[in-house]
Copies of this chain bind each other. A is one copy, B any other.
Amino acid sequence: MSKNPQNTPTPLAPPTFVLVRPQMGENIGAAARAMLNFGVDRMRLVAPRDGWPNPAAKAMASGAGRVLDGAQVYDTLADALGDCDYVFATTARHRGLTKPIYSPEAAMEVAAEKTAQGLKVGVMFGPEAAGLENDDIARANATITVPVNPEFPSLNLAQCVLLTGYEWRRQTTRVEPLAHEMVKTDWAPHIEVERLADHFEQRLDTAGFFFPQAKAQSMKTNLRNMWSRMALTRADVQTLHGMLRQLVWSKDTSDR
């Protein structure tokens, strides 16, 4: 039970909510309102269908217009997640991906811990109709699934955002500042893991690893899942880059 049903401001910076390929402007505006209800004011948009800015979003957001004004827009999900250290993907159904599945409650508890450790947390929300693609989820460290009634799972985008924001606020009104538990580990930000994945993908492509062609995409998705699942430090990433370069180099020379 929450120790404090009142609204104590949280000292923790809220996570960044990333709307991936959102469609209706109204839903973007409704998401902004849902976020601000719980003090989550950092929004990022990946390839919004109807472009940006969007008058319909602005009209729906009304009081929450400042969330839209501050929203950052990106062409690709990879760019949008660039500076995030830990990323959640919200998903309705279990995709059988080999990464943790959290309830909103558990996820925001983790998010609060990560944030208290100085890490930047992002939460991805998919397009209204289809939700996130497996290739989007492949870029997440963990997934969030709302425990809805299996006979009637009909949460819309703004509702999913609302419940996640609610849990963020609920968790952070309890969490003590964890300064004394500050983790010194220098985790690799998402962009570095992304570059590592790209490096391996390119080299493996050249090496004819992704065969047959029909399976290439799913093989690449699985690979990205593997990288994002690992808790990699910056040093790990450099080591892996070095390993890859060395493997290719030795192959080239042995071919001579």
Residue positions of A touching B, CB distance < 8 A: 1-2, 4-7, 33-34, 36-39, 63-64, 101-103, 105-106, 109, 145-150, 152-155, 159, 162-163, 166, 169-170, 173
Residues of B within 8 A of A109 (CB): 1
Query: Which listed residue, B1, B5, B36, B152, touches A147 by the CB 8 Å rule?
Result: B5
Which residues of the partner chain B approach A4 to less than 8 Å between Cβ atoms?
A: 147
Alpha-carbon distance A70/B103, docked complex (angstroms): 30
Output the least CB separation between A117 and chain B (Å): 18
The answer to whether B37 touches A152 (Cβ under 8 A) is yes
Copies of the chain in the assembly = 2
Give the docked Cα–Cα distance between A178 and B148 (Å): 24
Query: Given A147-B7, A169-B149 in contact, is the A154-B39 Cβ separation under 8 Å?
Result: no
Across-interface contacts of A152 in B (CB, < 8 A)? 33, 36-37, 63-64
Q: Which of A34, A63, A147, A169 has the most CB of B within 10 A?
A: A147
In Å, the complex CA distance between A106 and B173 comes to 14
Task: Name which residue of chain B comes closest to A169, CB basis.
Answer: B147
| Given A7-B147, A37-B149, 14 extra CB contacts under 8 A | A1-B106, A2-B105, A5-B147, A36-B152, A36-B154, A37-B154, A38-B149, A63-B152, A105-B170, A146-B166, A147-B169, A149-B169, A159-B162, A162-B162
Nearest Cβ on chain B to A229's Cβ, whole angstroms: 18
In contact, B2 and A37 (Cβ under 8 angstroms)? no
CA distance A169 to B34 in the complex (A): 21
Alpha-carbon separation in the docked complex, A43 to B206 (Å): 61
Of the listed residues A1, A152, A155, the one surrounded by the most CB atoms of chain B closer than 10 A to its CB is A152
Please name all residues of chain B whose beta carbon is closer than 8 Å to the beta carbon of A38 when the two chains form the complex.
148-149
With A152-B37, A154-B33 as given contacts, are A173 and B147 in contact (CB-CB < 8 Å)? yes
